[in-house]
Amino acid sequence: MKPIVFTGAAVAIVTPMNEDGSINFDRLGELIDFNIENGTDAVVICGTTGESATMTDEEHIECIRYAVERTAKRVPVIAGTGSNHTEYAVNLSKKAEELGADALLCVTPYYNKTSQAGLVAHFKAIAGAVSLPIILYSVPSRTGVNITPETCLELSKVPNIVAVKEASGNISQIAKIAAMCGDELHIYSGNDDQIIPIMSLGGKGVISVLSNCCPKETHEICSLCLEGNFAEANRRFLSMLDLANALFCDVNPIPVKFALNRMGFDVGGCRMPLVEMSDKNKEYLSGVLAKHGLLK
């Protein structure tokens, strides 16, 4: 069986911004502490929710460095180091390893895309350059590239490719990956609204946007699944489903940053081209936050 990076709920943490658009590291530290103190099982830094696509190389490296230092081994730090340029992803992955990250999250190439054979070559190149465990990231709605079950099986033969973050939304595909790969490729849900079905197929947890706002609740839902208590997990999950859905009423991470600001965390806005939500969506999300007692 491949080593398990974490079980439960990992927060896909936002990157707080100052008014001038620079990164607010003090606020990032507060969010990391808030999550760990409330049960988060791992921290994913510089993922999609962290706006890695608009970071400079220096910012990306400093965010990883800061997360590693602030987390101080309390939970694993998973660094987003994927790119559509293989050499760039290799170099960033090597740097993350030097900085002390515990694992890497590597998204499929985007825009230029590639074939399934290209995916195998791309991920093998990254894996061969580092010793850290790697979590593949399949999110075709953003990248235009899907990792097929057959490709997952091939990549599962690489010793340090240990898991996949599955955000295809295709439960049938995820079931096939589970059947074909077994314990040689662990599965994490990449969608908060699919925690229960994916964990019922043997998934080890979720890489979660919802955890930014509700780390304790998301952790507990995953813990119940891991204990085999799916009835109680489902009851709690369904009580949170409206919030999980509301956090995607606009392009991620626009809604979750709005939510955190309404909760009093003052994480600032998003970098362009992401812009503020409509007043209608602000009202809608505020109403859901109020229902859950999260407004400050």
Catalytic residues, by residue number, are 137, 165
Which residues face 105 on adjacent strands? Answer: 80, 135
What gap in Å lies between CA 109 and CA 138, rounded to an integer? Answer: 10
In terms of Cα–Cα distance, which of 7, 4, 6, 24 is closest to 15? 24
Neighbours of 102 (CB within 10 A): 20
Cα dist. 221→25, 186, 285 in Å? 29, 18, 22
From the DSSP assignment, how many helices (H) and strands (E) are in the chain?
Answer: 12, 8
Cα dist. 24→30, 85, 172, 217, 258 in Å? 10, 28, 41, 26, 16
What gap in Å lies between CA 122 and CA 89, rounded to an integer? Answer: 9
Contact 174, 166 (CB under 8 A): yes
Which residues face 187 on adjacent strands? Answer: 164
Structure tokens at 180: 């074909």
Which amino acid, 179?
A
In terms of Cα–Cα distance, which of 137, 236, 147 is closest to 190? 137
Which amino acid, 52?
S
In terms of Cα–Cα distance, which of 161, 223, 237, 183 is closest to 8? 223
